[in-house]
Chains A and B, each alone.
Chain A
């Protein structure tokens, strides 16, 4: 398995600075949330890391710069509560990566985040196995919504 393209952003705990509501903390019950951000764009990686951290949730965040790295991580035994998946990436795009992850039996919540807005672009992405798809850029409200759904799922 190649570890190329994986960055560990470390953990974050922002007690007292919850910008998303308390319901996002309740899902954890003391357990750290495991998040994988899959995007080849460094700017988007920074944004998504900041959004997850700003939610106030205690999270371990990993970054994969393409779908193949994400698949390799899961194949190696890593599991994630939440995967934020970009669509257009080199080597392996988000559609293929999502399909592969679901074929492997990965049960993580996989949220597509794409700059695509047309139905014909988004439909195959959703059909590959996403829980939901959002248009870029993610904002705090969308992040809150995602975490709330994760909470209900748990």
Chain B
């Protein structure tokens, strides 16, 4: 596939991600902050998001597995994940975090566990989509685009 075809594919794919709510306007803002002095800015920020998310999801699983759940701790982790997901525009992840915090306030362990599963699911999907997006960008560069 030549660079032009790949660029069209990238545009279509990106539009789909926005249309389906995986990404929101914040991701555009992120892309606008990338320039020739900071050419890998988006990949670097998103990589940090991946690291943070995986760590936080592990911490959440541990915290909810306790006999006496420390809801303040759970809420703190969800709050952090909400912050980082909103910073990169991972809209679906952010929305689950909002619901999750409500269950923390209610000390509803069933609700929290359900949200954790949803978070893992949404995170896995957005990670795959973003990796595919970056892979397309790399292919475009390699094709001379």
Nearest B residue to A121, CB-CB: B79
Q: How large is the interface on A (under 10, 10 to 19, 20 to 34, 35 or more residues)?
A: 10 to 19
Q: Closest Cβ of chain B: how far from A140's Cβ, in Å?
A: 7
Q: Is the CB of A50 within 8 A of B26?
A: no
B83 interface hit (Cβ, 8 Å): yes
Q: Is the CB of A137 within 8 A of B87?
A: yes
Contact string, A87-105, partner B, CB cutoff 8 A, digits 1/0? Answer: 0100000000000000000
Q: Give the complex CA separation of A140 and B28 in angstroms.
A: 11
Overall SS of chain B's interface: helix
> Which of the residues A19, A43, A140 comes within 8 Å of B84, measured between beta carbons?
A43
Q: Is the CB of B48 within 8 A of A42?
A: yes
Given contacts A44-B83, A137-B29, 7 further A-B contacts (CB under 8 A): A42-B48, A46-B44, A47-B87, A50-B38, A116-B79, A137-B87, A139-B26
30 contacting pairs across A/B (C-beta < 8 A): A17-B35, A42-B48, A43-B45, A43-B48, A43-B49, A43-B52, A43-B84, A43-B87, A43-B88, A44-B84, A44-B87, A46-B44, A46-B45, A46-B48, A47-B33, A50-B41, A51-B33, A54-B32, A54-B33, A54-B35, A88-B76, A88-B79, A115-B82, A115-B86, A116-B79, A136-B83, A136-B86, A137-B83, A137-B87, A140-B29
